[in-house]
Amino acid sequence: MFSYYIKLGWLSIRRNPILSILMVSAIAVGIGACMTVLTVNYLMSSNPIPHKSDQLFYVQVDSWDPNGFDENTEPVDQLTYIDAMNLMKAGKAFRQVASNRSGLVLEPSSEDERPFLVDARTTHADFFPMFDLPFLYGAGWDKSADDAQEQVVVLSREINERVFGGEDSVGKRVTMNGLNFRVVGVIDEWMPVPKFYDVTNGAFNLPEDVYIPFSVGVANQLSRNGNTNCWKEPDGEGFEAFLAGECVWIQFWAELRNEQEKEAYMSFLNAYAEEQKALGRFPRPLNNRLRNVMEWMEHQEVVEEDAQVMLWLSMLFLLVCLLNTIGLLLAKFLGKAGDIGLRRALGATKGTLFIQHLIESAMIGLAGGVLGLGLTWLGLKGVQRLFGDFLTHLATMDWVMVTTAIGLAIVSALLAGLYPTWRACNIAPASQLKTQ
Amino acid sequence: MEIGPIWRALTRNKTGAILIALQIAVTLAIIVNAVAIIQERSRLMARPSGVDEPNIFYLSSIGFGDDFNERVTIQEDLDAIRNTPGVVNAIQSNSVPLRGGGWSMGLQTEPGSESESSGVAVYFIDEHGLDTYGLELVAGENFTAADVNWREPQAVEWPDKVLLTQAMAETLYPDGFMEALGNTVYINGNEPMTVTGIIKQMQAPWNGWNGVERVMLVPQHTLFGSTRYIVRTEPGQRDRLMPEIEDMLAERSRDRIIRGMTTMEETRERSYQGDSGMVGILIFVVSLLTAITALGIVGLASFSVSRRTRQIGTRRALGATKPAILRYFMTENFLISIIGVLVGAALAIGLNMWMVQAFSLTPLGWYLVPVAMVLLLIVGQIAVLGPARRAASVPPAVATRTV
């Protein structure tokens, strides 16, 4: 029976080609608009590290200005050098990482190639196992390298390709900012979206080109390319005074495997803050936070407000397209009143007629969904062109989005078809047969 | 007019009409709100940066290696750039308006950490700064070469003189910006600086900041390892000079990288990319939506015409003229549309009130709703014109046939 209904549906669709095209394209356009925006929103709010996002915590201890504080004030979003180093030294979490964004000048060994700039992250040994970086060659460095300020570097795949032609470069040397670094590892393609480990400096930036020990960055006074904020000027001139001052510029993450570890770490942070208060720092009341990856993304409002406005507008857009389809389907099914009356008179039950017409609606929905997918793809290209680099990684589709699009199209078409179908089934056969 | 009978006919077969009316209502709500957002973004994008945008470009020079003498390099570079034919003037500075990255400080009129300070964007310039950016001095005087000194990376001291924009002066002295002239303001809580001049207007590097016109100009060259040159050219010379100056600087020293060659126009484009993208999408959405609604009206009207062919024939046979039939369908659409736009107006205002609250948008301009209502009524009439004319051309003889 099912294939027979499909055949009937197909005949009916062909009988009014213009009307059918109108319906299919209305659904397609609605789905296309909705899915384009939904994809961008979905990727903006996606979980960048799903298997352990609830075990990674962004650490905030509030060292900030007491002026203008009330109980709703959030702690400052990064850490001072003093606090980051103290927390690293205490080592109370299963893993912990202080890191910062920097930039280096890489000098290729061959004379004819000009030096170029690379984005760098100065970080600690735990960065690699903590965030599960995939390694192509070698591995991260050991904790001992952090302590000894060893000049070691982990390269991204692209930089390894550019400097070493993509070969296994572990053990080779590369000169950056006049310093001689030994390559210990090369990471494979790694593109967390959002770039959760440093939302402060751009949630949709690319990961860095090279990773070097934090201690090396500090010892050589490498530039800080990220956000630096001070609530009071350092006491005195020079880098030492800056490090000792109340300037925040470091992101700190802790890996805590369960609720007990989290609670223990929170009380450690509070005790630490009290200790600092005793030393005359931390003028605000106790105000520390541990947020896991998704809580931190939400708190930092990673999903752009524009994207949310667009989401609502696109939902309404889809609604208009569906109203359109309902009207057209209604017109169409009522136009078939004669047929329906005849089939009822020949013994078809309301139930079978209902299923027959729902199948016809679903066929229109399927066609609309497939066409809508094409439009979504076009829409994403358009969005990319309009918004530029910032959206390049946000405007891709995966199978979740493809199935959602088709599913949404069929469900909407079925919903749109319900009322017209119901009306069609309730046509009294006698009245139709009379006029024939 | 035969509104009475048309209305009664409508109420006997109301589902189709309700659907069209609803569609018009939601369309109106979306269009009005989309246009409100477009207007808001366009207003933002129209704000002037205060600098001579068409003729300015900038680039970074990053020194490395032990032989690199930053102070000498900066002086020689600036001399070389300024002496290039076609260049109006050039300076070293830390940023330009709209660039997105910059330096901010707080200024206050009374010393001490208890006093409230106002955030201000900092540009480091020298005596050529006003000419290079193309700024207008409304009071006081420009810096002289003697005022300009060198700033080390972690310096905490500030020079004695400062120029403020009118907006910043007004923030500090609400009674009138002229009061700032010659007065002492405090940076870092208690370090005094004298306001020696007031600039008409200039934007901070962050266009989204609510204090975007609060700017201070400081007479210093910076020794931060990475430096930025701002170059203003004679009209029409910019594109020729950009590669020329890039090559010249790259030739002058091997111990540095020249990068980030950008024009002010590109900077503006990138700075407002999100906004202009949003405007583009919304214009597309508005047009598409209007088209879909119009097509929906055409589709339903066509159906109702073909369903009523015999009825129309009968009316024609009984003496109705072609214009009367045309008028019937036009009036029917008008009635449906009126209900649609009225409901839509309420919806539009409701949606806007909610969006203002949820997304901090600015409220609607009052005229948008009536304008959109009239426009949609016209679109409806145009859409129904085709089917209505087909209805009018139904011959009276149809009435005599059994279909």
> pLDDT tens digits for A362-397?
888 888 888 988 898 888 888 877 776 656 666 666
The distance from CA A69 to its chain's CA centroid, rounded to whole angstroms, is 32
A210-255 per-position pLDDT tens digit: 999 999 999 998 888 888 888 877 887 788 888 988 889 999 999 9
Q: What are phi and psi of B185, to 5 degrees?
A: -115, 160
- The verdict on residue B325 lying in a domain is yes
A286 in the same domain as A317: no
Closest CA to B291 of B370, B383, B385: B383
- The verdict on residue A132 lying in a domain is yes
Residue B282: which domain range?
Answer: 3-46+273-400
DSSP H helices in B47-191:
70-82, 129-133, 166-172
Please report which helix (H) or strand (E) contains residue A248, including its range.
strand A247-255
> A373 near A28, Cβ under 8 Å?
no
SS3 B122: strand
How far is it, in rounded angstroms, from Cα B166 to Cα B216? 10
> B89 near B82, Cβ under 8 Å?
yes
Cβ count within 10 A of residue B13: 12
Please give, rounded to a whole number of angstroms, the shortest distance from the CA of B212 to a CA of chain A.
19
> B301 near B384, Cβ under 8 Å?
yes
Q: Is A117 on the interface with B (CB under 8 A)?
A: yes
> A317 near A375, Cβ under 8 Å?
no
Average pLDDT score, chain A: 87
Chain A CB contacts of B295 under 8 Å are 22, 26, 324
Q: Is A326 on the interface with B (CB under 8 A)?
A: yes
- The verdict on residue B244 lying in a domain is yes
How far is it, in rounded angstroms, from Cα B380 to Cα B386? 11
A294 in the same domain as A308: no
Chain B residue at shortest CA distance from A36: B281
pLDDT at B53: 95
Q: Do A115 and B299 touch (CB under 8 A)?
A: no
- The pLDDT > 70 percentage for chain A reads 97
Residue A420: which domain range?
Answer: 2-45+304-435
A283 in the same domain as A174: yes
Which of A254, A271, A299 is a domain's end point? A299
Q: Please report the ipTM that was assigned to this predicted complex.
A: 0.79
pLDDT at B1: 58
A81-121 per-position pLDDT tens digit: 999 999 999 999 999 999 999 989 898 887 777 788 899 99
- The verdict on residue B262 lying in a domain is no
- Give me the residue from A19, A29, A223 closest to B299, CB to CB: A19
Q: Do B289 and A320 touch (CB under 8 A)?
A: yes
**Count of structural domains within chain A:** 2
Residues in Cβ contact with A1 at an 8 Å cutoff, skipping those fewer than 6 apart: A352
DSSP code at position A76: P
B231 in the same domain as B157: yes
A334-364 per-position pLDDT tens digit: 778 788 888 888 888 888 888 888 888 888 8
Please give, rounded to a whole number of angstroms, the shortest distance from the CA of B296 to a CA of chain A.
6
- Give me the residue from B20, B259, B288 closest to A29, CB to CB: B288
- The verdict on residue B234 lying in a domain is yes
B90 in the same domain as B211: yes
Chain A CB contacts of B68 under 8 Å are none
A328 in the same domain as A201: no
- The verdict on residue A113 lying in a domain is yes
A268 in the same domain as A320: no
A35-64 per-position pLDDT tens digit: 888 888 887 788 889 899 999 999 999 888
Q: Do B257 and A29 touch (CB under 8 A)?
A: no
B366 in the same domain as B238: no
Taking CB atoms within 8 Å and a gap of at least 24, the contacts of B12-20 are: B15/A330, B15/A419, B15/A423, B16/A327, B16/A330, B16/A331, B16/B300, B16/B303, B16/B304, B17/B336, B19/A323, B19/A326, B19/A327, B19/A330, B19/B300, B20/A327, B20/B296, B20/B297, B20/B300, B20/B336, B20/B337, B20/B340
DSSP code at position A224: B
Question: What residue type is assigned to position B6 of the chain?
Answer: I
B290 in the same domain as B249: no
Which B residues, 257 through 286, put their C-beta within 8 Å of a C-beta on chain A?
Answer: 257, 259, 270, 273-274, 276-278, 280-282, 284-285
- The verdict on residue B267 lying in a domain is no
B344 in the same domain as B289: yes
How far is it, in rounded angstroms, from Cα B340 to Cα B18? 8
B187 in the same domain as B152: yes
Cβ count within 10 A of residue A4: 10
Q: Which of A313, A333, A387, A415 to mutate to test the interface with B (most CBs of B within 10 A)?
A: A313
B153 in the same domain as B209: yes
pLDDT at A303: 80
HEC assignment per residue over B187-241: ECCCEEEEEEEEECCCCCCCCCCCCCCCEEEEEEEECCCEEEEEEEECCCCHHHH
The structure tokens listed for B38 are 């477009």
pLDDT at B154: 77
B277 in the same domain as B210: no
pLDDT at B348: 94
> B165 near B12, Cβ under 8 Å?
no
Q: Which of B19, B60, B390 to mutate to test the interface with A (most CBs of A within 10 A)?
A: B19
A183 in the same domain as A103: yes
Q: Is A108 on the interface with B (CB under 8 A)?
A: no
Asked if omega into A429 is within 30° of 0 (cis), the reply is: no
Please give, rounded to a whole number of angstroms, the shortest distance from the CA of A34 to a CA of chain B.
11
pLDDT at B201: 95
- The verdict on residue A183 lying in a domain is yes
Which of A282, A299, A316 is a domain's end point? A299
The distance from CA B251 to its chain's CA centroid, rounded to whole angstroms, is 40
- The verdict on residue B360 lying in a domain is yes
The structure tokens listed for A433 are 């047969």
- The verdict on residue A50 lying in a domain is no
- The verdict on residue A429 lying in a domain is yes
Chain A CB contacts of B66 under 8 Å are 178
B247 in the same domain as B185: yes
Q: Is B401 on the interface with A (CB under 8 A)?
A: no
- The verdict on residue A191 lying in a domain is yes
Q: What are phi and psi of A43, to 5 degrees?
A: -75, -35
A271-329 per-position pLDDT tens digit: 999 999 999 898 888 889 999 999 998 888 888 788 888 888 888 888 888 888 888 88
Which residues is A179 bridged to in the sheet? A176
Which of B202, B227, B254 is a domain's end point? B254
DSSP code at position B399: G
Taking CB atoms within 8 Å and a gap of at least 24, the contacts of A303-306 are: A303/A41, A303/A44, A303/A45, A304/A44, A304/B274, A305/B359, A305/B360, A306/B274, A306/B278
Which of A299, A328, A351 is a domain's end point? A299
Q: Is B12 on the interface with A (CB under 8 A)?
A: no
- The verdict on residue A206 lying in a domain is yes
Please report which helix (H) or strand (E) contains residue A434, including its range.
helix A429-435
Q: Do B257 and A310 touch (CB under 8 A)?
A: no
- The verdict on residue B266 lying in a domain is no
Q: Do B22 and A323 touch (CB under 8 A)?
A: yes
A391-404 per-position pLDDT tens digit: 666 666 678 778 88
SS3 A98: strand
pLDDT at B182: 93
Closest CA to B329 of B397, B398, B399, B393: B393
B287 in the same domain as B236: no
* Residues in chain B, pLDDT under 50: 403
Alpha-carbon dihedral of residues B22, B24, B30, B32, nearest 10 degrees?
-130
How far is it, in rounded angstroms, from Cα A13 to Cα A94? 63
Label residues A325-346 b or e (16+ Cβ within 10 Å = b): bbbbbbbbbbbbbebbbebbee
Indicate the pLDDT class of residue A436, thresholds 50, 70 and 90. Answer: very low
The structure tokens listed for B399 are 């009435």
Whose structure tokens read 């078409």? A413
**Count of structural domains within chain B:** 2
- The verdict on residue B33 lying in a domain is yes
On the question of pLDDT at A435 being above 70, the answer is no
Q: Is A38 on the interface with B (CB under 8 A)?
A: no
SS3 B263: strand
Rg over CA atoms, chain A: 30
pLDDT at A96: 95
How far is it, in rounded angstroms, from Cα B3 to Cα B8? 9
Chain B CB contacts of A386 under 8 Å are 273, 276-277, 280-281
A322 in the same domain as A184: no
On the question of pLDDT at A432 being above 80, the answer is no
Question: What residue type is assigned to position A150 of the chain?
Answer: E
Please report which helix (H) or strand (E) contains residue A97, including its range.
strand A95-107
Residues in Cβ contact with A108 at an 8 Å cutoff, skipping those fewer than 6 apart: A114, A115, A116, A163
